[in-house]
Structure 1
Amino acid sequence: MYGYSRVPGYHFSLFRADCDLLLRKYPFVRAYAVGCSVLGKPLIALRLGEGGRPIHMNGSFHANEWITSALLMRFLDDLAGSYAAGEAGAARLYKETTLWAVPMVNPDGVDLSLFGTTGILPLDRQLLEWNGGSGRFDQWKANIRGVDLNDQFPAGWEEERLRRGVAGPGPRDYAGICPLSEPEAQAMASFTMSIPFDTVIALHTQGKEIYWNYKEYEPADAEELAARLGQASGYKPVKLTDSDAGYKDWFIKRFRRPGFTVEAGEGVNPLPYSDVPAIYAEVKPLLLEAMQWRR
């Protein structure tokens, strides 16, 4: 089963093993490296479909929200399995859409949040200092350099930096020295600019909410799609204010197309691995609705 691990979390090695398994099971799924993390781990994009409507989904922008990677991998496996079985709905989606998923945007941070420091990396002493001297990193959201990747995009970056008020690297909310200073954010921006995505969905946790707007840059039909995603999942569409520099903010501003942040599940981060089945039951119809929707 996708996502099995003796470690209570979905770490990078498990993700790589699941990618290999997915590609062996379904040769029509393709994998591409769209960039690398600070420590050189590949940012893997998985492609499914051959249609003219490209859609992007991603997970684990935030390190301790690794459960979103497991959710996306399960969705890819289900969708590919349905297509391989000859199901009519999956065949239609395969011909009409192309899904590009980057399930683990922040692999270094994910591993840090689950395993802590190793004692051998040059950054380990610095990481402990940034973490207030604690060896527990389960609340770590940032990348390995202590930068919050979802505060890194050129859409109100300066406003978000001032609002956060975090002066330097740490577990969360530090926006970096400038927009796109981090290789993971650079890779996601370059990847997004290389393909004319119709819609993007960034999976986060938690709260069972859907954020769909950015300073009136969103297209007129974004609210309608948010309502449909909410109806499919039971999640609440929310019109945000005072939030900038996120991936979906930048996508909306840059391309004027629908972009969504989905806060999956409910509880306290990191959500337990045992929540995957229940959260997936909510998220799967939302993701399918996004793929089926026509503007």
Structure 2
Amino acid sequence: MKVQVRPGDTFWLYSQLFRIPVQLIEDSNPNVLPTSLMVGQTINIPGFIAEEYMIQQGDTISKLAKERNLAIDTIFLLNPNLNPNRLQINDRILLPRLVTDFVVDGNEAYDFGKLEKDLHRLVEIYPFLKVNRIGDSVLGKPLYEIEIGRGNRTIHFNASFHANEWITTPVLMRLLNEFIVSLVRGNPIRGIFTLPLYNRNRLSIVPMVNPDGVDLVLHGPPEEMKEELIEMNKGSLDFSGWKANIRGVDLNNQYPAYWEIEKKRKEPKSPAPRDYPGDEPLTEPEVMAMADLAQRKQFARLLAFHTQGREFYWGYENLEPPESEVLANEFAKVSGYDSVRYIDSHAGYKDWFIYIYRRPGFTFELGYGVNPLPITQFPQIYDEMLGVFLAALYM
């Protein structure tokens, strides 16, 4: 919601009027100096939207404010020319409304278009979120990174490396949504107040690493690649099991952490719906974007969401730091997932992150069953991952 600065207004005043942390107002207006607000300047108030209201018989500004648990001055802030003594029936004014519902539904097929729509709405309501374009997919879809927080410790989450594991994207987006609603309202999540987490950490979230693949699984092949993809899919029109990117390369088998071992033992020797590691490491644009992001942001820890198995992996070649085991024990407690230190696998994003940076990395296999998991598993998976999300920021 946008308001115009009046004489004497400050960020602190807005914080008190709307009962939201001043840090969120500051971060929603990154190009505004809090100490030199100018009359008439436009300011973003996060977590609120302005709704039109028609004056009814018996309405007063005091009554409208009380009914909505608002400070009276918030109404005058949105209606600078309002005369409270001259309200007329059918007059139209603006009233602020705190957004308490979630933008991200989650219980639905979640394609790239849905992701973009939710991102646009979230940034509109919560402008302390920053969305960066870190690269492009093979078909030119933007690869989005969401940044939130003001700490000096960067914690990274990602989802949908694999196309038929798209349920991980709405899970991650809903976790973000609950976190930011908690920040604005000041309500704890499972007894944990989130503003200290916001101040301590900077979150880096890539909610859909493989947008071309996700859309292929959910909608079928694009017309310009239809014949090529059907041939790669062994003549089948059913793409629900597709795991790779649109070029038939498994994005989580593309990183230079003993990649040559995966190359030698993987059965596909050419582009395929799954498991083909490419001709060389780091050939795919999605993979290069994620590697570059890790290098630029220097994550303190990394959590990658996959499906399925209700377990997570956290070791690699005995290169993981002692902190990893402490985190793994906590993640196992709050999620009920099995903690697995080592598996015979290489060339994944988590593997490479530990191999290069010697920092904690985790691959979570959400839910249980056959990919793609049914959306009916969303509530349970979300509940299991909420504790993991909080613990990753808290510890």
TM-score, L = length of structure 1: 0.95
Q: Does 1:38 align with 2:151?
A: no
Contact 2:106–2:378, Cα closer than 8 Å, also in 1: no
Q: Secondary structure at the match of 1:57?
A: strand
Residue 247 of structure 1 aligns to which amino acid in structure 2?
Y
1-structure distance, mates of 2:326, 2:104: 33
2-structure distance, mates of 1:157, 1:142: 16
Partner of 1:125: 227
Q: How many residues align?
A: 290
Please report how far the alpha carbon of residue 5 of structure 1 lies from its aligned counterpart in structure 2 after TM superposition.
8.5
Q: Which runs of 5+ in 2 are unaligned?
A: 1-101
Q: Does 1:91 align with 2:195?
A: yes
Please report how far the alpha carbon of residue 217 of structure 1 lies from its aligned counterpart in structure 2 after TM superposition.
1.0
**RMSD, aligned CA:** 1.4
The runs of at least 4 consecutive aligned structure 1 residues that moved more than 2 Å come to 1-6
Q: Secondary structure at the match of 1:129?
A: helix
1-structure distance, mates of 2:121, 2:379: 20
Contact 1:218–1:256, Cα closer than 8 Å, also in 2: yes
Contact 2:310–2:365, Cα closer than 8 Å, also in 1: yes
Partner of 1:12: 112
2-structure distance, mates of 1:200, 1:266: 22
Contact 1:2–1:73, Cα closer than 8 Å, also in 2: no
Q: Does 1:259 align with 2:361?
A: yes
Q: Per-residue displacement from partner, 1:195-218 (whole Å, max 9, x unpaired)?
A: 121100000001110100110111
Q: Secondary structure at the match of 1:217?
A: coil
Q: Which runs of 5+ in 1 are unaligned?
A: none
Partner of 2:99: none
Contact 1:56–1:101, Cα closer than 8 Å, also in 2: yes
Partner of 2:89: none
Residue 153 of structure 2 aligns to which amino acid in structure 1?
R
Q: Larger RCO: Structure 1 or Structure 2 (Cα < 8 Å, ≥ 6 residues apart)? A: 1
Q: Secondary structure at the match of 2:322?
A: coil
2-structure distance, mates of 1:2, 1:243: 37
Residue 126 of structure 2 aligns to which amino acid in structure 1?
Y
Higher Cα radius of gyration? 2
2-structure distance, mates of 1:42, 1:228: 34
Contact 1:2–1:70, Cα closer than 8 Å, also in 2: no
TM-score, L = length of structure 2: 0.72
Q: Does 1:142 align with 2:244?
A: yes
Residue 207 of structure 2 aligns to which amino acid in structure 1?
P
2-structure distance, mates of 1:97, 1:15: 24
Q: Does 1:243 align with 2:330?
A: no
Please report how far the alpha carbon of residue 221 of structure 1 lies from its aligned counterpart in structure 2 after TM superposition.
2.1
